[in-house]
Chain A
Amino acid sequence: DAGVIQSPRHEVTEMGQEVTLRCKPISGHNSLFWYRQTMMRGLELLIYFNNNVPIDDSGMPEDRFSAKMPNASFSTLKIQPSEPRDSAVYFCASSTLAGGLYNEQFFGPGTRLTVL
């Protein structure tokens, strides 16, 4: 299996620009998670989906952040407009949900975002 795939791996943009991060979960996984990792705040859960439906977006920091999962094999995290404080590594993870319980999450390699 190819694992969780994220693109791009690195993104450098200027303040005010729109940024779109992409994630392809492991085939057969029905849950998807977006995390942000910074030195100051560590690893934070932003949002997660079950069967393409957003379940909990309480970790999304502001309305500038939005996430979608149009199908089981693709998700996006969009920041519009971006700000320097959004600079971080963004991880996508996927897992399976069965019998009401989740199995462990498998993480992608992350997207390092730098907003100038």
Chain B
Amino acid sequence: AQSVTQPDIHITVSEGASLELRCNYSYGATPYLFWYVQSPGQGLQLLLKYFSGDTLVQGIKGFEAEFKRSQSSFNLRKPSVHWSDAAEYFCAVGSTASKLTFGTGTRLQVTL
């Protein structure tokens, strides 16, 4: 069965600092991997996705993620965080992007 682990429940960073959110997955084949962001009271918005090819993927809002098969990881990064990035971030894994399994989320707080 596929699963996703986001080990950090809550992270606080200063505005302008770099960010890395961790995601580890368990899946038997080549996974489809996603990062979504959820602002308070809103639905989930896709930040980026990995299906195949280049293991470093670029997304919206200046985010990027790197797929590392050997580590079963798909960590999300941003070089300089803005206060508007404060939200909850979800990593998800699936086989054909249909039946997705989501992690429990990481809540990001940004201090000014």
Interface, chain A (partner B; CB < 8 A): 4, 31, 42-43, 45, 48, 55-56, 91, 93, 95, 97, 100-110
Contact = CB atoms under 8 A, between A and B. Distances in A.
Contact of A42 (B43, B99, B102): B102
Main secondary structure of the interface of A (DSSP, over half): strand
Main secondary structure of the interface of B (DSSP, over half): loop
B98 A42 contact: no
B42 interface: yes
B25 interface: no
Interface residues of B, number: 20
Given A42-B105, A43-B90, A105 B100 contact: yes
Interface of B: 34, 36, 41-46, 49, 90, 96-105
Nearest to B98: A102
